[in-house]
Chain A
């Protein structure tokens, strides 16, 4: 019997101090091995990261209407879609700094509207910022300076999974007394109680719909007035008010994407007011968890290049910032756009279903096989090509590396080639 010869395996490559692009925390201490194109987290990844690196297959060939095509033919087909479009929408925006730069450079001549996958969460946060501002802080400040952390309706079990390890329970702190005294409160449903070992959490139980009421009660309590939630006084609220009065540096943490669509911005505004109240006599600050799928990057790059955050339209003679009007789902639902360019290189985010022509620049998980569509396979930044992403706290930006050999181009390279065809 003939034995089939296995291909000679190339030795696995190990990369240290790797930046993980799979949530807004951008942990930069992962150890990853690459066996061929198979990536494995060896150290410091959370379950989400381990799964994401493991599942990151390389995409197949370009597709036109679901049929394999050469890259040239697919780019031509994509360019034709954009040429024929009167009002294209560029959405998803799951890419790195270079991808965003290239996308915005293309949006202007195409008169496109741009929105991110997490545009709703961004709009919630940006709206509060633009109406009253905010006192904010960053991860290292929380880790070292905070003696009270309040998790406000945020679930760090499903996302931002290493937040507790990085910020709540470090082995030491620049201000040891603060770490020794540190208390962690969780305001919200029981299901989101942090499961991280070593964090002792004091709970202020409240349903998601009661978050705003609970915050009002807390502010009343801090001003020395009796409070009421659902018609009665809650001991948790009283205890939290005591803790705030005793603390030197309170941090309130929320995740705009995890708050309810209905009153998420009001909850953030209320948290901002609470922080402003506390700062009259002692220090407090907010920490915003978000920025997944390149969200913080998209927001920041769009803001510096155009002056406006998302959502934004290049359709007219001047830029038009309107987070209510330029929502992906709404534009598609109203038939207000006639072509969709969908960018998704981090996670499995299929392009929204729509009868209009679609171009997808995406990873394997975003492969689109459908009539009236073009799929342009792109590498994942930080796995397949170098790049940069911005962390959730709007300060730190980190470098991404190439971890495995691949010929798959970056989204930026594809967008530049598209732009050349439209010249």
Chain B
């Protein structure tokens, strides 16, 4: 046996995948991951007494904007964010900067410091896939993956408008996943980004994109069906229509109905949970939405919690970001129409606790968390950095776990917003087991990551040791130890190892004949060859820079 066998004994384990809820157990780690107890105790190279500590698998962020063109534009746009938040020489293995739009190196170190060991970039474009993977390749320590955007690209819309056989559309989805080296498919404002290029300024769920005569409802259904048929582990990842618009809870309910029972994930649902009641025509739709989702086991959600302070919103939703640019702070916005593929908008924003709207957004997010009955269908996100930077997760965890702390905060926000929310009446407190579901077990299950998010034998060996403290924010901010693939990488909140994480991709089978359709389209209309757009495995894995983990789903029908 090699000399790296590590024993962690005396700690309480929270491993919801195996139903383990705070039992004291000993864990054995090696470079192979979590291993069974060795027959010979002499094989143990290092033994850690972690009595009084809480052990969980490494955290998984299922939706965080950390790499790709729009993230980099946000970095470029905001030198003030970087000047105010330098990462000085010696703090991390390498220098960096930023709070809302941190540099790639800083992102990897900071996630690791918090005990997160896998991050998924939710908005990669095929046109920008190479850059996204290059940036993820410069994000140390964490495993990563990316969701490719579809549903606003002119090729998909042409196929759908031409009433192509669903099998052909499925092949196109699979081809795109393959070419972009993606882990899942996301749709942003279905058809709306494309419509904005044709100067439509809003698109309701049954309103037609005038250029193609297609509605968001049709686009959602075609994508969800295609994904279901391909057998992808993660269902359609939906950033719905009408983001941020008062009254959009109706749109979100209609979106859920449009799926006709097919599995789907609704992302940053807080931004889609607004009513238009009250004096200010802005109210919480959380209760209605939570009730609907509680009844629909095909739907999962992540919250996209808002936290107060300066951030930047980065989104593929150019239509809604253009509308939001009026509220930019500081006053500047980058907007892009992208390569007949998608778009993006970058709007710096400051959430203020004394603003009625911002304060209510904060409360709506928490209401959603607390009203959702099934923790396996809720994931903890701030939609980094759109609701807040990911470094606010420990604070968010405390808000969920500590009712008196939550009520203290509630008392400090805009009073009208506090009065308009039912948050004060919600007594639920998340347990450590619940948190382990939200931040580990559930995202792993949703993405089909068999070796992450749990502590069973065969797991990759991403293990976090937290010192149990009543102040859950302090506890989750600075774990005592973090192990990545069996290697100690963080000790007492300090990064001491910088291994390279894997890149997770899904590769469904498809008919190669789709390449004729794609090649023809690219030759006639695009500016590059599809074979050059395709990101090769060697580009991700070359020179020991990374490793691909490939999932091959089976078609369901």
Contacts and interface: CB of A to CB of B under 8 A. Distances in A.
Contacts of A317: 88-90
Contacts of B154: 144, 174
Given A308-B82, A388-B134, A136 B72 contact: no
Contacts of A175: 211
Interface stretch (B10-18, B98-106, B392-400, B490-498): B98-106
B138 A282 contact: no
B128 A396 contact: yes
Contact of A129 (B104, B131, B334): B334
Contacts, number: 193
A19 B527 CA distance: 12
A17 B532 contact: yes
A279 interface: yes
| Range, interface on chain B | 35 or more
A397 B134 contact: yes
A96 B334 CA distance: 26
A174 B340 contact: yes
Contacts of A17: 529, 531-532
B409 interface: no
Interface stretch (A210-218, A299-307, A362-370): A299-307
Nearest to B328: A133
Contact of B76 (A140, A174, A309, A314): A309
B96 interface: yes
Among the interface residues A129, A299, A397, which one has the most CB atoms of the partner chain B within 10 A? A397
Interface of A: 17, 19, 28-29, 97, 101, 105, 108, 126, 129-141, 143-145, 166-167, 170-175, 248-249, 279, 282-283, 285, 299-301, 303-309, 314, 317-319, 321, 388, 390, 393-399
Given A307-B102, A396-B128, A137 B528 contact: no
A138 B338 contact: yes
Given A29-B529, A307-B96, A318-B88, 14 more contacts: A28-B529, A97-B134, A133-B332, A133-B346, A136-B337, A138-B339, A141-B339, A145-B197, A145-B337, A303-B76, A304-B72, A304-B138, A306-B96, A395-B131
Interface string B328-342: 100111111111110
A323 to B, nearest CB: 10
B447 to A, nearest CB: 24
Given A130-B332, A314-B95, A317-B89, A101 B138 contact: yes
Contacts of B335: 133-136, 285
B322 A307 contact: no
A166 B158 CA distance: 22
Contact of B75 (A97, A140, A303): A303
A283 B196 CA distance: 8
Contacts of B505: none
Contact of A396 (B102, B196, B528): B528
Given A141-B339, A304-B75, A395-B125, A283 B199 contact: yes
8 nearest A-B pairs in the assembled complex, by CB-CB distance? A307-B97, A318-B86, A307-B103, A133-B332, A397-B130, A307-B82, A133-B333, A139-B527
A89 to B, nearest CB: 18
A249 B525 contact: no
Contact of A307 (B75, B333, B340): B75
Contact of B138 (A305, A308, A397): A305
A283 B195 CA distance: 11
B73 interface: yes
Contacts of B78: 130
Given A309-B76, A319-B86, A388-B130, A144 B331 contact: no
B95 A300 contact: no
Contact of A172 (B336, B341, B524): B524
A303 B536 CA distance: 24
Contacts of A130: 76-79, 332
A133 B321 CA distance: 13
Contacts of B529: 17, 28-29
B539 interface: yes
A364 B328 CA distance: 49
B67 interface: yes
Contacts of B69: 394-395
B81 to A, nearest CB: 8
Chain B interface, DSSP helix/strand/loop, else mixed: mixed
B554 interface: no
A413 to B, nearest CB: 10
Most interface-central of B77, B154, B331, B524 (chain A CB within 10 A): B77
A305 B103 contact: yes
A363 B120 CA distance: 39
Contacts of B528: 28, 396, 398
A304 B67 contact: yes
A318 B89 contact: yes
B43 interface: no
B257 interface: no
Contacts of A300: 72, 131
Contacts of B76: 126, 129-130, 299, 303, 309
Interface string B52-75: 000000000000000101011101
Nearest to A314: B95
B185 to A, nearest CB: 19
Interface string B246-272: 000000000000000000000000000
B373 to A, nearest CB: 40
Given A17-B529, A28-B529, A304-B75, A319 B134 contact: no
B127 interface: yes
A173 B128 contact: no
A309 to B, nearest CB: 5
Contact of B199 (A133, A137, A248, A304): A248
**Residue of B128, B198, B527 most packed against chain A (CB within 10 A):** B527
22 contacts: A29-B529, A129-B77, A130-B78, A133-B328, A133-B333, A134-B334, A139-B339, A140-B339, A140-B527, A141-B340, A145-B197, A174-B158, A282-B199, A283-B337, A303-B103, A304-B75, A307-B75, A308-B97, A318-B86, A390-B131, A396-B128, A397-B128
B94 interface: yes
Contacts of A394: 69, 72-73
Given A309-B76, A395-B128, A108 B336 contact: no
B539 A399 contact: yes
B536 A399 contact: yes
Interface in B428-469: none
B135 interface: yes
A305 B96 CA distance: 7
A140 B525 contact: yes
Nearest to B347: A133
Contacts of B67: 304
B528 to A, nearest CB: 5
A143 B525 contact: yes
Nearest to B196: A283
A259 B438 CA distance: 53
A309 B539 CA distance: 24
B262 to A, nearest CB: 29
Contacts of B134: 97, 301, 304, 388, 397
A319 B82 contact: yes
Contacts of B106: 307
Contacts of B131: 300, 390, 395, 397
Among B79, B131, B531, max chain A CB count under 10 A is at B131
A254 to B, nearest CB: 16
A304 B337 contact: no
A392 to B, nearest CB: 11
B526 interface: yes
B77 A137 contact: no
A141 B135 contact: no
B79 A308 contact: yes
B337 A141 contact: yes
A396 to B, nearest CB: 6
A134 B96 CA distance: 25
Nearest to B132: A397
Contacts of B95: 108, 306, 314, 318-319
A140 B340 contact: yes
